[in-house]
Amino acid sequence: MKRVSRTGLRITTILVSMVVGVVAVILCCCIVLFLNRYRSAMVQSARTSTAQAVSQVSNTVSNYLQGMDQAMSMVEHSMLEDADNRDRMLTAFLLFRPDVVAVTSYSYTGQLLDCWCLDREPREEIFENLSFDLERARSAGSPYMTAPHVETIFEEYYPWVVTMTMPLEPGNEAAWVSLDLSFSSISSYINNVSIGQRGYCFLMDKEGNIVYHPQQQLLYAGLKTENTEALAALADDAYADDTVIYCVTSVADSDWRVVGVSYVDELVNRNVSEMIRLSVVLAVFLLGAAVLTSWLLSRLLARPLRGLADAMERFETDADHFTYRSVGGTREVQELSGSFGHMVLRIQQLMATVREEEVNLRKTELRALQAQINPHFLYNTLDSIAWMCEQGRNADAVKMVHALARLFRISISKGHELIPIAKEIEHAESYLQIQEYRYKNQFTYRFEVDPACLDYYCNKITLQPIIENAINHGLDLLVDEGSITVQVCQDGEDIVFYVRDNGVGMSDELIRSILEREPDDRTGIGIRNVDDRLKIYFGKQYGLRITSEPDVGTCVEIRMPKIQEGDYEAK
Residue 50 lies in a domain: yes
- pLDDT of the residue at 522: 46
Rounded distance, CA 268 to CA 41, Å? 10
Q: Which of 38-52, 407-421, 518-532 has the lowest mean pLDDT?
A: 518-532
Q: Give the pLDDT score at 338.
A: 77
Q: How far apart are CA 385 and CA 397, in angstroms?
A: 5
Rounded average pLDDT over 392-399: 76
312/171 same-domain check:
yes
Nearest-angstrom CA–CA distance, 238 and 256 = 17
Instruction: Say how far apart CA 105 and CA 114 lie, in whole Å.
Output: 5
Please determine, for residue 268, whether its predicted confidence score (pLDDT) is greater than 60. Answer: no
408: which residues sit within 8 A by CB, 6+ positions away? none
Cβ atoms of 258 and 61 within 8 Å: the answer is yes
Mean pLDDT score, 14-27: 68
**419: CB partners within 8 A, 6+ apart:** 410, 413, 457, 458, 460
Last residue of a domain, one of 298, 317, 336: 317
Tell me the C-alpha distance between 466 and 448, whole Å: 16
Q: Domain check: are 194 and 62 in the same one?
A: yes
Is the model's pLDDT at 271 over the cut of 60? no
Give the single-character DSSP code of 206. Answer: T
Q: Which of 515, 104, 42, 444 is nearest to 263 (CA)?
A: 42
Rg, C-alpha atoms of the chain: 53
In a domain, 330, yes or no: no
Asked if 291 and 145 sit in the same domain, the reply is yes
Q: Residues 187, 188, 194, 199: is their CA dihedral positive or negative?
A: positive
> Does the pLDDT value for residue 331 go beyond 90?
no
Percent of the chain with pLDDT over 90: 9
Give residue 560's identity as a one-letter amino acid code: M
> 121-155, pLDDT tens digit by residue?
887 666 567 788 888 888 877 888 888 888 888 88
pLDDT at 188: 81
Q: Which of 367, 320, 350, 354 is nearest to 537 (CA)?
A: 367
Backbone conformation region of residue 170, classed left if phi is above 0, alpha if psi is from -120 to 50, else beta: beta
d(CA 106, CA 108): 7
The pLDDT, as a whole number, for residue 524 is 43
Higher pLDDT, residue 491 or 171? 491
Higher pLDDT, 482 or 392: 482
pLDDT > 70 fraction of the chain, expressed in percent and rounded: 79
Among the candidates 317, 348, 371, a domain finishes at 317
Write down the pLDDT at residue 20.
Answer: 63
Confidence at 544, pLDDT banded by 50, 70, 90: very high
pLDDT attached to residue 353: 85
Q: How far is CA 457 from CA 365, 488, 543, 558, 570, in A?
A: 20, 12, 15, 14, 13
Is 325 a domain residue? Answer: no
Which whole number is the average pLDDT over 218-234? 86
Q: Give the residue-averaged pLDDT of 355-378.
A: 63
In a domain? residue 389: no
Of 294, 317, 340, which residue is a domain's last? 317
The CATH number of the domain where 56 resides is what? 3.30.450.20
Beta strands, E only, 364-442: 418-420
pLDDT band at 5 (very low <50, low <70, confident <90, very high): very low
User: Residue 292 falls within a domain, yes or no?
Assistant: yes
pLDDT for the residue numbered 570: 39
**Within a domain: 371:** no
Domain coverage including residue 266 = 11-317
- The answer to whether the CB of 372 falls within 8 A of the CB of 464 is no
Burial of 226 (0-12, 13-18, 19+ CB in 10 A): middle
What pLDDT shows up at residue 191? 82
What span, in angstroms and rounded, lies between the C-alpha atoms of 386 and 394? 10
Q: E strands of 100-141, at which residues?
A: 100-106, 112-116
pLDDT of residue 559: 94
491 pLDDT tier (thresholds 50, 70, 90): very high
Nearest Cα residue to 384 out of 407, 371, 403, 370 = 403
Contact 474, 465 (CB under 8 A): no
Same domain, 258 and 129: yes
**C-alpha–C-alpha distance, residues 293 and 57, integer Å:** 58
Q: Per-residue pLDDT averaged across 433-459, rounded?
A: 87
Can you give the CATH number for the domain in which 422 is found?
3.30.565.10
Q: How confident is the model at residue 421 (pLDDT cuts 50, 70, 90)?
A: very high
Res 4 pLDDT > 70: no
Complete DSSP assignment for 465-493: HHHHHIIIIIITT-SS-EEEEEEEEEETT
The Cα 328–Cα 547 span in angstroms is 62
Give pairs for 397-405: CB < 8 Å, separation 24+.
399/433, 399/437, 400/433, 400/434, 400/437, 403/430, 403/431, 403/433, 403/434, 404/430, 404/434
On whether the pTM is more than 0.75, the answer is no
Number of domains in the chain: 2
Q: Using CA of residue 57, residue 63, residue 69, residue 75, what is the dihedral sign? A: negative
Does some domain include residue 388? no
Distance (Å, whole) CA 12 – CA 26: 21
CB contact set of 274 (below 8 Å; sequence gap of 6+): 38, 41
**How many Cα atoms occupy the beta-carbon half-sphere of 158 within 13 Å?**
6
| 432 and 290 in a common domain | no
Quick: pLDDT tens for 278-310.
666 776 776 677 667 766 666 666 667 777 777
- Which of 319, 325, 323, 328 lies closest to 347 in space, CA to CA? 319
Q: Is residue 394 part of a domain?
A: no
